[in-house]
Amino acid sequence: MIKIRNLNKTYNLGSPNALHVLKGIDMDVKGGEFLSIMGASGSGKSTLLNVIGILDNYDTGEYILDGTLVKGLSETRAAELRNRKVGFIFQSFNLISFKNAMENVALPLYYNGVPRKKRNALAMEYLEKLGLGEHADHLPNELSGGQKQRVAIARALISRPSIILADEPTGALDTTTSREVIEIMRDVNLKEGITMLIVTHEAAVAKATDRVIYLRDGKIESDKHNPNPVIEF
C-alpha cells in the first residue's frame, strides 16, 4: 500500500542553510502491518511521517500510496487523498479545545461533507468502542491524557482510513497509560485490519510492533522483522 523509492527532502532547498533531512529513503509497507520507526531526535522521523501523511511534500524520488503517485498534487487533491486514506495521532493529541469529545471525533467527517446528525451518531459509536461513551460531552481539558489519546484514536478511525500514522503517541503519557494506548492500537490493527505506523523513540513501543525501521541521520539504517512482539511496559 506504501511504496517509497529513493525519496529525498531538503528544508530550505537552495539556501545556504539547506538541510537535507531525508536521504534516499526506500520503504514498502503492506496493508495490515503494525510497524514502528525509531531513531534519535532530529533523525527525520516526523518529516518522513508527514510526507507519508501528505502533510508535507518531498523533492525527488517517488511515493505511491494505494496506487496513487503522491507528487506535485494540488492542495485540494492532496487534502482529498489525505482525508480519505490517512488518520493521524499526535503526541500532543491535537484536539480542538472548545469542542467536546464527540465533536472532535466527528471532525474528519465534517471535512468530508457528512451531515451533522450522521457524523455525530458515528462519533458516538466510535467513542463507545473506545470506552468513552460517558465522556462524549466533555471538553479536552476535562479528560485525562489517556482519555484524550483515545478520543484522538477514535477521530483517526472514523473516516475508515487505510493507514493510521502516529507520531510519538505515548510521548506525553505515563507508563500504564502508554501500555493502554498501544494495546488499543494493536487491537484496532488486528480487528479492523488498519495499517499502523508508529514513530517513537521508546524501545517498549517498538518491541510491541511486528517490524522496526531505524532511521539515522535521514537514512534507513535497518529494517527488521520482530518475530515476537510483546506489550511490556
Residues that bind ligand ADP (CB under 6 A): 11, 19, 21, 39, 41-47
* Of 46, 147, 178, 189, the one binding Mg ion by CB under 5 A: 46
Residue 111 binding target from Mg ion, ligand ADP, none, CB below 5 to 8 Å by type = none
Least distance between ligand ADP and beta carbon 206 (Å) = 14
Instruction: Tell me whether residue 21 or residue 35 sits nearer to ligand ADP (CB atom).
Output: 21
Q: Cell for 118? A: 450522521
| Beta carbon of residue 182, minimum distance to ligand ADP (angstroms, whole number) | 19
Report which of 198, 202, 211, 204 is spatially closest to residue 88, judged by C-alpha positions.
Answer: 198
Residue among 47 and 147 whose Cβ is closer to ligand ADP: 47
Contact letters for Mg ion, residues 141-180 (x by CB under 5 A): ----------------------------------------
Name which of 55 and 231 has its Cβ closer to ligand ADP: 55
Distance of alpha carbon 4 from alpha carbon 127, whole angstroms? 34
Sheet containing 60-65: give its strands across.
19-29, 2-11, 60-65, 68-69
Nearer CB in complex with Mg ion: 46/104: 46
**φ, ψ for residue 173 (rounded to 5)?**
-115, 150
Compare residues 46 and 100 and give the one whose CB is closer to Mg ion: 46
Write the DSSP string, 141-199: GGS-HHHHHHHHHHHHHTT--SEEEEESTTTTS-HHHHHHHHHHHHHHHHHH--EEEEE
Position 43 contacts Mg ion (CB under 5 A): no
Secondary structure (3-state) at 31:
coil
